[in-house]
């Protein structure tokens, strides 16, 4: 029976993945800011789920993570599904800085804590949800795309560090395209929008059999392939906006 801790388990992909893990018979440690949502998830499978409210932007979040791991009886997989993002062509500084605190500072805080736990054991699996938005800088969401690029690079660096020091820690960088979760504004139009359930099922596949990096789904994998070929001078001249 695997033991997985999911940070960001109160909605969206984190919640749906937690439910799939429960169906697999795994023990689930669910963490997030909304205690009511955590309690509702625990009520779905009281014998399999432990919960812990935490806010990844707070300094005490790793302490809460440690308590959750202890109640769970250990951790085999750390799954980071917590993040925020907004269209911000007006460059509202509050939005940009809040995105940086959550997707940057909060991400590093929790992944470092998970890395430290697995390092003490000599192995484990860290899986994170980043985004295809990290491929190029998106003018419609500057802080979001920049923090997702940072997440990609940070996981690359930790994977090298683990290999250099001989720790048996595996890493999975999961990069979805547009997913119908509360993260996306209901007012926007997003091409190739994927259902949460479909993406969660793909995530479960890589949690069972880890891969280093995966783009969800095949359409987006092809999209990103050609996206990378666009020269910078041309990219800066493209008008890429989600339709209202």
Check residue 135 and give its pLDDT: 82
Q: Is 188 helix (H, G, I), strand (E, B) or coil?
A: coil
Catalytic residue among 78, 144, 167, 220: 144
By the 8 A CB rule, do 141 and 85 touch? Answer: yes
By the 8 A CB rule, do 5 and 68 touch? Answer: yes
By the 8 A CB rule, do 32 and 38 touch? Answer: yes
Residues of the chain with pLDDT under 50: 185-187, 242-244
By the 8 A CB rule, do 78 and 84 touch? Answer: no
Check residue 114 and give its pLDDT: 98
Give the model confidence (pLDDT) of 80-99 as tens digits. Answer: 999 998 888 899 999 999 99
Check residue 156 and give its pLDDT: 97
Taken in order of first residue, the domains within the chain and their CATH numbers are 3-235 (3.40.50.720)
The DSSP output letter for 133 is G
Catalytic site includes residue 144? yes
Could you tell me how far CA 242 lies from the centroid of its own chain?
22
């Amino acid at each position: 029976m695997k033991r997985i801790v999911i940070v960001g388990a109160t909605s969206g992909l984190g919640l749906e993945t937690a439910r799939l893990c429960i169906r697999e018979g795994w023990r689930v440690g669910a963490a997030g800011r909304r205690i009511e949502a955590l309690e509702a998830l625990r009520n779905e499978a009281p014998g399999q789920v432990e919960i812990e409210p935490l806010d990844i932007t707070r300094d005490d979040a790793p302490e809460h993570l440690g308590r959750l791991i202890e109640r769970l009886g250990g951790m085999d997989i750390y799954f980071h599904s917590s993040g925020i993002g907004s269209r911000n062509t007006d460059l509202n500084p509050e939005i940009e800085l809040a995105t940086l605190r959550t997707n940057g500072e909060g991400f590093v805080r929790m992944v470092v804590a998970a890395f430290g736990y697995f390092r003490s054991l000599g192995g484990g699996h860290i899986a994170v949800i980043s985004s295809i938005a990290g491929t190029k800088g998106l003018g419609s969401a500057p802080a979001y795309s920049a923090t997702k690029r940072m997440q990609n690079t940070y996981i690359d660096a930790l994977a090298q560090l683990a290999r250099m020091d001989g720790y048996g820690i595996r890493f999975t960088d999961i990069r979805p395209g547009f997913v119908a979760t509360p993260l996306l504004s209901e007012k926007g139009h997003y091409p190739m929008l994927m259902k949460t359930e479909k993406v969660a099922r793909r995530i479960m596949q890589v949690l069972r059999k880890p891969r280093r990096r995966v783009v969800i789904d095949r359409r987006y994998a092809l999209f990103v392939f050609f996206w990378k070929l666009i020269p910078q001078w041309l990219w800066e001249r493209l008008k890429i906006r989600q339709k209202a």
